[in-house]
Structure 1
Amino acid sequence: MKRIIALCLTAMMLSGCAAAAIQGATRASDNAKILANEDAAAAGDVEAQMKMADAHCCTIAGSAGVFNNQKATEWYCKAARQNEPRAFYELGRIYSGDLVRGINGPAKAAAMLTEQPENKPLALMWFNLAAAAGYEDAADEAEDLREDMTAPEILQANLRQKNWSAQACEWNDVYPGRKL
């Protein structure tokens, strides 16, 4: 029994070390993506804009190291204005309060323990646009979000969608009290 407990404790400690190593490697990779894609993204290349957004996205703190919600949404918005379906989806995810992607266990745990900003009507608008553009999973995300919204919020999302390109898109515009 003592051996099993010792093995479990060792495994838990090593998983923490592995998570830190993976997170460090991910940040280095994200920095490399930023350097490699900055010029093309600024010139309007949608693929480069998505890579820039992905590299900056996202943190529950708003900004931490390479992760910066304002920069991520800036690039996703530029790609969305060029009708990139995944940009629509990612903006829906961010504004629904889902700021942590992937297998980042510590960040997911922290997100569950803290209140994340959300703008449900805006998130639903983005998910609806992604679904209309055929992005897989967007319709399910929209349906799940609708279940957690009031009728006036859903109406607001539908009205926003009619003139979606004029809606606030970047983090600092959506959450002016949480500027980064």
Structure 2
Amino acid sequence: MGEESYAPYLMFFGGLILLIWLLMRRSWQGLRRAKKERGKDDYLARTPRPQTKEWTMSDGPRELNQWQVEMLERTRELQAIVDTKLLVLHRTLLKVKAAELTAEQRAAIEPVVRESQVLADQGAPNFAAVSELLCDDEKKLEVYQMADEGHSAEEIANQLQLDLYAVETVLGLRGT
């Protein structure tokens, strides 16, 4: 009577374990198949890993690393704010162009619209390029030397293949 009394329990738990194993196997196969179909994390934005620069402060003190991270986060926030404001400006300009205004009203706002259109066409400055140029002492010295030789910011940016806004910012911060 001892062996027969455990048989139903063994069969039940054996079936339960078999069912769990079967369901988990199906789940794993489904996950593997879904990952294969979508590619390797295609839903994520592809941003290439930046190459190690000489000016990175990863070997510096902990406080310096925290400061660098905070500055990079603030740079991203500032970039997002400027991008948002430029988008709002662009949409406002489209609404002004589509609006039915009298000739007097158009003449009154024409200078502002023209200046705003120039700003919208320029786009947002590349703040990351400014940070990179500020931290790269060799490039910064090249910019200073060319400025001392009498080159304009545009010429320096073209010759060194740098962002114009970054060159202007570095030259503006030179005296401080």
- Which one has the largest radius of gyration? 2
TM-score by structure 2 length?
0.30
TM-score by structure 1 length?
0.30
